[in-house]
Chain A
């Protein structure tokens, strides 16, 4: 989930001042390639992305993540040590990962030919000839199980997992990417192979290349990487999210000094026409760090928490809208009240003109900082590609922010956040929590 949020919060911007133009084409097998030439540094970032995230787990929660984790533990003629040595001997960084929506393989390498070729060849073999050997499977499964256990010692993780379950019910966005004990312990190596064969195919793949390569080199890179990938088929869309019928509150008892509070519901998706209104609205509410309303109300005015924020995580289907804070157990009700009031008032009234003007200045003025590194730029390109956003999305970003109004923001927020349906999760030590009546006034 964390990784996913990282991608989803990338805000789109436009390349008004820079020559960072996205070029796009398809490989012979049908995979889309998104390329930005960036020559300032002798390096390149390359990602291959599949619609093979944890939303594709079916009943086998954790299947997508474990499949991804196995890729570089053995491929072609090489074992995990040899693969790691091949990358690290040329100073390359390689990793795999999943979010709810996708699975990715990422390489950062120098572009000096000999170094680049060795790194790329290694990535190609990992991508096309992973072994899923039993010994590697067993070990990585055990490590995943340990990771799941470790999640249970963090009140933040416990809260996040409970919240996802609560707002998504039986939808595949409900479960954690790495799965749960009961499902991961039942997985077999053959399940991973099957998942890999179904989803890691050319028609379900896209490539992002950002770096010091020319177009021909980028084409050769994409061709080489994917040539041996079977064509396959794109999977059917994942199911729609069903909105909950009533508000719910869940408390999980936990021996912590703070109570973690999450409030929200399914929010917005990438192609939502309301997206820009929701984005700037949330920016004002809880998305702009030290100056957002939630931060000011909860922390600056009352000292109730170290962090208080809110976010929409736009995904293929409505990703979560979450407002959150952590506070000393006995202040939970007071803090929750401040959060809920701030949220409800904002949804009801929208921003003031002054708030809206300030937010526009921040977003538009800070626009070039959103992708001033190759790493961030590659992230944006991946987002545009994976979510099938128009290529001029970046070019029109500022206009779309500029075009929002108090009314359009208010209307969008009211369409997406029905405050009578909010879901609330608290995780903490309730014996230290005073009853609501004692706290409220």
Chain B
């Protein structure tokens, strides 16, 4: 066993020596905009992303989802570029674009031929400070966002369960509310709300520009200076901490929705890289997630889906880069003839096993091998690399954490995994939701259309 591990370690370093580790280069403009560039010359393309430090976890009650609403409104025009122009210009320059909002960030991106970077920077700089927020555009876009919510949440049993689960699990943390916002809040946004939100957060000193691709670092800095340099910074007020209060015991809920399969969702309150007293705890939790769900050989697939055949599917999830303490989640769908109680018992047994017995050297080695390989595979995608840099910078961890990741995971020991299991995966930190299906009675009506087409 030992000799095998050693030989693999040697192989790994050899595999790694073959490629130079890419690293980002950082520059801060005088107005506070941080610019990160990572060159990748495999293909004459680039991705440009602008990340704002604002997301649903920044939102007070009553205007939940407003970061996401504003993201939609960001396509509605400026003085220089009326509604629809932004997307048209990007498209005519061969680009793809979109935007996304999370709990901790709002980001806008264009992927284009590398020599089109300037087109994207000019447009992004313009809408960072000069957005038009018009009542008639808001009225239409409110409907769009409401449709989006129906699609993602109202008509999606798993989405609905997750939303109710978060609302129960958190007490004082803003992770309590959905990224897309509560329906009543969405319906009540005003132009003034959006204007205030835009003024408060959309400024160069609250943003990061990330460019990855076939570009020259100095050229990117020059273009960034040219377009973003003239923008005035804002006085960004620090965010209130909104720290989650201590949970004082197990919380359970049932979510009854039209569905066909029952399922269970369990979440333990755990620290993340940003909030852990000791950084290694977050990396140990990351490894623990890998022990349970890092592939088909991991414990949930091997033990519960195949071995005991209690579940038709089972998974574990942990995101160590959240801005605030988060949940370590386990979810599963019981196999035919098994109950949610059987499922819960089996998942808890897996947790107990982690607390009582050290994970095996094979498991630890497997996870480290996957992390190392993943580091190579992720370089196949400029977009993914830019995402990583953007998230780390935006949550306040610093993009350099991306470079540390492999080493930090490598340092995790079996004893540390056991320690975090004992410390955090305990009943007092646990939240459980059961999805209880209500019947879906589908009926089919056929009718030949009287006239064709329209």
Contacts and interface: CB of A to CB of B under 8 A. Distances in A.
B112 A153 contact: no
Q: Which of A162, A255, A327, A369 has the most CB atoms of chain B within a 10 A radius of its CB?
A: A369
Contacts of A233: none
Contact of B95 (A114, A142, A146, A365): A365
B42 A91 contact: no
Given A110-B15, A153-B157, A146 B312 contact: yes
B3 interface: no
Interface stretch (B51-59, B138-146, B200-208, B344-352): B138-146
A83 B309 CA distance: 18
Interface stretch (B122-130, B221-229, B258-266, B412-420): B258-266
Interface stretch (A24-32, A58-66, A221-229, A337-345): A337-345
Given A88-B296, A153-B440, A364 B94 contact: yes
Contact of A341 (B83, B298, B312, B454): B454
B163 interface: no
B140 A258 contact: no
Interface string A75-94: 00000110111011111110
A314 to B, nearest CB: 21
A84 B297 contact: yes
Q: Is the interface of B mostly helix, strand, loop or mixed?
A: mixed
Q: Which of B143, B258, B453 has the most CB atoms of chain A within a 10 A radius of its CB?
A: B453
A304 B144 CA distance: 6
A249 interface: yes
A388 interface: no
A289 B84 CA distance: 12
A179 B8 CA distance: 42
B380 interface: yes
A23 interface: no
Nearest to A359: B91
Nearest to A45: B380
A114 B19 contact: no
Contact of B151 (A43, A109, A147, A306): A306
Interface in A309-333: 326-328
Contacts of A142: 309, 312, 335-336
B75 interface: yes
B369 interface: yes
Interface string B77-109: 000000110011001111111100000000000
Interface in A66-125: 72-73, 80-81, 83-85, 87-93, 108-110, 112, 114-115
B139 to A, nearest CB: 7
B93 A361 contact: yes
Contacts of A300: 83-84, 140
Given A112-B11, A153-B440, A42 B18 contact: yes
A215 interface: no
Nearest to A325: B147
Contact of B44 (A154, A254, A368): A368
Interface in B340-373: 362, 365-366, 369-373
Given A42-B19, A88-B296, A250-B444, A304 B143 contact: yes
Interface in A240-265: 246-258
Given A291-B91, A365-B95, A303 B139 contact: yes
A290 B369 contact: no
Q: Which of A87, A251, A255 has the most CB atoms of chain B within a 10 A radius of its CB?
A: A255
A257 B153 CA distance: 10
20 contacts: A40-B42, A81-B306, A91-B373, A110-B15, A139-B305, A146-B333, A152-B440, A249-B447, A250-B445, A252-B443, A254-B442, A256-B154, A290-B97, A290-B98, A291-B87, A299-B144, A302-B140, A306-B151, A365-B93, A372-B43
Interface of B: 8, 11-12, 14-15, 18-19, 42-45, 75, 83-84, 87-88, 91-98, 111-113, 116, 139-148, 150-151, 154-157, 258-261, 294-298, 301-302, 305-306, 309, 312-313, 333, 335-336, 362, 365-366, 369-374, 376-377, 379-382, 437, 440-449, 451-454
Interface of A: 17-18, 40-43, 72-73, 80-81, 83-85, 87-93, 108-110, 112, 114-115, 139, 142-143, 145-147, 149-150, 152-155, 158, 162, 246-258, 288-291, 296, 299-307, 326-328, 337, 340-341, 344, 358, 361-369, 372-375, 418-422, 424
